[in-house]
Amino acid sequence: MPTTSFHTPQNFESIHSIGEPFTNLIETPENPQVSNNKSLDYKMILLATFIVIVSSSNDVAGKIVTIPMGNYSFFLGIFNSAFYVIVYFSVLGVRLGLRWTDWSQILYAWSWNRGQPVAQDNRQENKIKLFFEGVPQFKYFMAMGFLDGLGQIMGLLAKPNISGDLIVLCPQTSLFFIVAVSVLVLKTKYTFWQLWSVFSATCGVLIAVAPTLTGKFKGQFIYIALMMFSPFTGAISFVLKEKLFTEYNKLHPKNKLDIFIVNSHGSLFQLLLQPLIIPLAFIIRPDLTGGLSFSHYLKDAFGCFAGIMPNATKLVTAMVVGDEPSHTCQYMPYPYIIYIVINLSMNVSFLFFLRGATTLMSFMTTKTTIPLSISLFYFNWPLLKANEFSWFTIIGLFVILFSLIVYRLSSNDQKEHNLPCCSLNMILLEQFIDRQDPENEIKDINS
């Protein structure tokens, strides 16, 4: 199964916010081959089109569902975790029953990994390493669940308070965080053009959020910062996933770790660790309870999800940009049901898509959703008014997309030509320039 990562929970909340290094980790039991079968190509194109549409709709639905919840919106993370625990373990159970997944992988997930023996002379300085390696293998799943849950909380706190286009663009900082964590933890090498594109994409995000630093949108800044930094925890989780898959492949070179083992256990610990994650929301937003006791606040939050209007109506007022009218809990849980159906459709179709798509096709599909998602926010939707048009958003979008394309090209060069760290070479560009040179064209003809 393909190795995968998700920057908030253990499901894909939005496929265009997946860190671009993720596409380098896509693997299947057999290397995917580009089929010459026209019917297969036709099906992949239809599936890619469906994914683009449903992913863009998912962004709008994800924004809408936070509006009636207001200050309770981050509680949606609990229900997301619980839902995907059921989904992933159900799928895993079917795979185990059909013997598509080996039971030994379940045992591996809960096994004790003592690591390699350490020489006696080095034992003193390797105490921390020995302690970490002595912890059961589910240490990775605990860390992933906590980090993904924390990132999800940050995103859900921010979403009701920022415009839809920024919800799409701000998580593009995931590329910066994943590359930074990969360099620091995994000692990954990147070329100059990869590092340049990371810097450029981050600048694109800053351009898009520039208008919020002044004027009537100035109050959004704290929430924009939350949205921009929410991928950071997901980046660490991404690196842990990569490390987990690498360790398993070393022990079992002929058998890859099933992605549903990782997603199901990660979601399980994300749900179990919610009592530790939720209080962190009150550190980020100390005024979140509005003066209510924590127990009263929790009761009202679950009541709001069920469509019951709490007594403290000021807490359910959606703090949305501009002149957006206030909404109450009376619309719940129907927006959430719509959102979870769309989100599940996106997740299932995207996992099927990755098994047959080329890297280029998956890249183009995930990035096509960015401009489409932004354009959808310029229309009126139930509970959600259209965004104000901003040239900063358009310019920032162009810079981000251009940077991601450069990153994709330079990543291909590094992989195919084994370029050294910080290399200035861009092979595909050099080959293109050579083809445009008439002298080189004459040489090719003569040869």
Residue-level pLDDT at 321: 39
pLDDT beyond 70 at 174: yes
How far is it, in rounded angstroms, from Cα 317 to Cα 322?
A: 14
pLDDT beyond 70 at 229: yes
How far is it, in rounded angstroms, from Cα 291 to Cα 409?
A: 53
- 301 closest CA partner among 126, 32, 108, 75: 75
pLDDT beyond 50 at 5: no
Higher pLDDT, 357 or 36: 357
Cis peptide before 211 (omega within 30 of 0): no
Residue-level pLDDT at 322: 41
Model confidence band, residue 188 (pLDDT cutoffs 50, 70, 90): confident
Per residue in 394-445, pLDDT tens? Answer: 898 899 888 888 888 877 766 665 555 555 555 544 554 444 445 544 444 4
Radius of gyration of the chain, Cα coordinates, nearest whole angstrom: 23
Mean pLDDT along residues 149-170: 87
Domain boundaries, the chain: 15-189+218-387
How far is it, in rounded angstroms, from Cα 174 to Cα 229?
A: 8
Per residue in 133-155, pLDDT tens? Answer: 555 678 889 999 999 999 888 88
Least confident of 106-110, 342-346, 348-352, 417-421: 417-421
DSSP state of 379: S
